[in-house]
Amino acid sequence: MDNIKKIRLISELRRVEKVTGKIPRTIDLQNLKGFPGYKTYVKYFGSWKNALKEAGYNCPNRNFEWNKKK
């Protein structure tokens, strides 16, 4: 079941890309209606970065550490 859910979530990321014209960001999920929330991706993939990687996005210049407490 988890693999089916992951496939669906990846499909949704690609749909966000089609709507926005760019690699999905967490803010996109907050602003667009009808998409799974950011926390859903963290639940199934362990992190937002992992979700993007599994969806095939290469975003080496993205700062994924911005929201972590020091």
Per-residue pLDDT tens digits for 13-64:
999 999 999 999 999 999 999 999 999 999 999 999 999 999 999 876 666 5
Rounded CA gap, 47 and 55, in Å? 12
- Cβ atoms within 10 Å, residue 68: 6
Residue 13 has which token pair? 């990321």
Q: Under 8 Å CB-to-CB from 40, ≥6 apart: which residues?
A: 9
**pTM of the full structure:** 0.81
Q: Is 6 exposed, middle or buried (0-12, 13-18, 19+ CB in 10 A)?
A: middle
